[in-house]
Structure 1
Amino acid sequence: MAEVKVLGSWGSPFSRRVEVALKLKGVEYEFLEQDLFNKAPLLLKSNPIHKKVPVLLHHGNPIPESLLILEYIDDTFPGTPILPKHPYERAMARFWAKFIDDKIVPASEKAVFTKGLEQEKGKEEVCELLKILDNELKKKKFLGGETIGLADITGMYVALWLGMREEIMGVELGVTKEKFPHLCRWKEDLLNCEVIKENLPSRDELVAYLRPYYTKVFM
């Protein structure tokens, strides 16, 4: 029996973060696909507060919430670091990861999944937030510096899922190389990292997998 298990969903950017982190560390694990419309007793028991994926099970102990899981993986397993050693750099990695989750993800969902005035406000908001990220990436190759780290793994949502959602929902946010040169360069570099490339589905695969759900729920 695997000592590490991941309760997740194939198409979830949050589940994929955990898998990439485990692959980066060279940790073997068992992935347990969850039906998010008919939640299994194990998921409800493991994450009774939020009842969401992902959940990491390590020796039977559940750890919920993707950012907490990434830090747990980094603290628990040897290998490639996910967080830098220097306290300031660690704090900034956490800052940018939370910026993506707390600001960009909800703004982009408003921009993609709503209509009318609320959608237009969402588009403006997400573009302003992406400008901040673009400006930060003027200074370095990755949000983690010269190598990928916590913020970059979190940023896979921006690099892949955001554009996929635009395509499915027929929404254009205007994320071009002309407007966001550093962000677009970072997206290409991130998606071409070996550990990312090997452990993420392609955009076409994601679109095919998620289109039926998105069009049913949001269109």
Structure 2
Amino acid sequence: MAEEVKVFGAWGSPFSHRVELALKLKGVPYEFIEEDLANKSSLLLKYNPIHKKIPVLLHNGKPIAESLVILEYIDETWKDNPILPEDPYERAMARFWCKFMDEKCMPALWKAYWIEEKERAKAMEEAFEHLKTLENELKGKFFGGETIGLVDIACNWLAFWIGVIQEVAEIELVNGEKFPILCKWIEEFINYSPVKESLPHRENLLAYLGARREALFASTSKQIIY
């Protein structure tokens, strides 16, 4: 009996892309179900009633939510091409850096690019410090060593989305002069065949994020979905 694997996501979401990339690296066939984040489907709300967000992995009728949780589930379910280290300490460190990316690095970068100009300097300084911390952790070709692992997948936003955001915001924080090791990793990561084949079209993402940026600065709530 064939396995049923579905991903509820959005084409422009780095969180959806994490799940898709992990499945591609594992060679797992799946069906992608595009969600309209402004008009979420009844199935998405059914499968993720707590957070009501993408991505959601549906495996043989069982839903799993939250991208990092999904990545670990994928690794434990399909054993080929592991994305987590075998050593317990290294596994714990991989989880730590994924958490750092989501809770520290990504919010600081997002704020630095999208915040009003008068408050930008402090935000840029905070983002710079987090990026430097991340660069100091990168000691091999990838965060996972010689092959792509959990931390690389979690950092996909930094590898591809950040370049598009910099173009939209007309602010350059990540470049080869400031972060040579990170930029070398970015080049290796986005040119790795399974990654390159699954990235969203850059021009479409430019238009999408440009529209979101306009919506952000037009909004009194200063909230934006990415």
Q: TM-score, normalised by structure 2?
A: 0.91
- Listed one character per residue, the Cα deviations across residues 106-131 of structure 1 (whole Å, up to 9, x for unaligned) are 10111112113433222111111111
Q: Which residue of 2 aligns with 1:7?
A: 8
Whole-angstrom CA distance in 1 between matches of 2:118 and 2:24: 42
Q: Offset of 1:34 from its aligned partner? A: 0.5
Q: Which residue of 2 aligns with 1:151?
A: 151
Contact 1:5 1:32 in 2 (8 A): yes
Q: Which residue of 2 aligns with 1:100?
A: 101
Q: TM-score, normalised by structure 1?
A: 0.93
Contact 1:6 1:32 in 2 (8 A): yes
Q: Which residue of 2 aligns with 1:176?
A: 175
Identity %: 59
Which amino acid in structure 2 is aligned with residue 131 of structure 1? K
Contact 1:2 1:30 in 2 (8 A): no
1:44 aligns with 2:49: no
Q: In the TM superposition, what are the counterparts of 1:1-219 in structure 2 within 5 Å?
A: 3-137=4-138, 139-173=139-173, 175-218=174-217
Whole-angstrom CA distance in 2 between matches of 1:106 and 1:129: 10
Whole-angstrom CA distance in 2 between matches of 1:37 and 1:78: 36
Whole-angstrom CA distance in 1 between matches of 2:58 and 2:101: 25
Q: Offset of 1:216 from its aligned partner? A: 2.7
Whole-angstrom CA distance in 2 between matches of 1:26 and 1:180: 33
Contact 1:6 1:29 in 2 (8 A): yes
Contact 1:93 1:150 in 2 (8 A): yes
For structure 2, the 5+ residue unaligned runs are 219-226
- Listed one character per residue, the Cα deviations across residues 150-190 of structure 1 (whole Å, up to 9, x for unaligned) are 000011111111121121122232x2212111011011011
Contact 1:107 1:126 in 2 (8 A): yes
Which amino acid in structure 1 is aligned with residue 141 of structure 2? K
Aligned length: 217
